[in-house]
Amino acid sequence: MDLTTLAGDPTSEPDDLAGAVDAAAGEVAAFGPVLGLVEHDAPAVRTAVARALPHLAAMEINVPFAPFAVDALISLTADPHGDVRNWACFGLGTQMDEVDGTTVREALAARLTDRHGEARREALIGLARRRDPRALPAVRAALCRSDVWLLEVEAAGALGDSSLHPLVIRHLDGWDGGAARTVAAVARLTDPDGLGADLIDGLAAWYRSGGPLAVDADPGWWRIALDLLELAPYRATELASAVARCLGSDQHALDVLDDSTLGALARTHGWSGVLRA
């Protein structure tokens, strides 16, 4: 049975309706029916709504109506049920992190002391991604504990505050795979000496060799840069400027940098780009 039919039937089982919402998260026409379930009595349904709304709002045809999804997620961050708050904070804080404003920040800040640990951490990273100063003491308190969660370390990277660096260094060990790379990126992002001369020199060498256009170029330094920029895209300006200085008068390499993903991201954050010959 489809979502519209289940939503209109008062005898529908909550689990069936929640499953229909999840299944419809990729369907453009589901945006309206899902919004209509924001205040459903069943927590399972409201949880599914919080999961689905960011995906539905991101669809090109639905973008003009995204503010309705934002308003719905803001209301769900204060839901009585912890799982609902968790998914709403994740959706609002991270999946829709391009959305900012006083009401969004206030909703996330209100969850910094949430009794539900996952909701609290999702709110923290969401607030840190917006570089709201209220995230700093919460991140510092989290890093002072021994049982640190990855999202809390990521929040330190998103803020990039150098006062957090000694606390981040305490937590470098004990991570595996992608988590270890993320924590290493956070150490760079909070380092008072900057992102690292090794990274800047490595990227400069990569752009001299042709960057992403060169078949035999080693993208290792670019992967490290991506780890940084995933957490703190605003640092692209700093990184691009440093690499450009390192490249000096190598116009070909400067052009490769200017046309690269790093160059494009840096320009969205105010970088003027390199001077073309």
- Residue 205 has a CB neighbour count (10 Å cut-off) of 17
Q: Is the pLDDT of residue 232 over 70?
A: yes
Kindly report, as residue ranges, where domains of CATH 1.25.10.10 are found in the chain.
3-190
pLDDT at residue number 277: 53
C-alpha 130: how far from chain center = 10
Percentage of residues of the chain with pLDDT beyond 70: 98
Q: What is the mean pLDDT of residues 139-168?
A: 97
Those residues whose C-beta lies under 8 Å from the C-beta of residue 109, and which sit 6 or more positions away, are 123, 127, 132, 134
Positive or negative torsion for Cα 144, 146, 151, 153: positive
Topology of domain 3-190, CATH = Leucine-rich Repeat Variant (1.25.10)
Alpha carbon distance 234, 217 (integer Å): 26
pLDDT at residue number 216: 72
Alpha carbon distance 28, 26 (integer Å): 6
Those residues whose C-beta lies under 8 Å from the C-beta of residue 198, and which sit 6 or more positions away, are none
- Residue 246 has a CB neighbour count (10 Å cut-off) of 19
Phi and psi of 8, rounded to 5°? -85, 0
Percentage of residues of the chain with pLDDT beyond 90: 87
Quick: pLDDT tens for 21-58: 999 998 998 999 999 999 999 999 999 999 999 999 99
Q: Is the pLDDT of residue 147 over 80?
A: yes
pLDDT at residue number 9: 83
**Whats the size of the chain, residue-wise?**
277
Quick: pLDDT tens for 197-212: 999 999 999 999 998 8
pLDDT at residue number 7: 83
Alpha carbon distance 13, 42 (integer Å): 9
pLDDT at residue number 213: 76
Quick: pLDDT tens for 167-222: 999 999 999 999 999 999 999 999 999 999 999 999 999 999 998 877 677 789 99
Alpha carbon distance 277, 273 (integer Å): 13
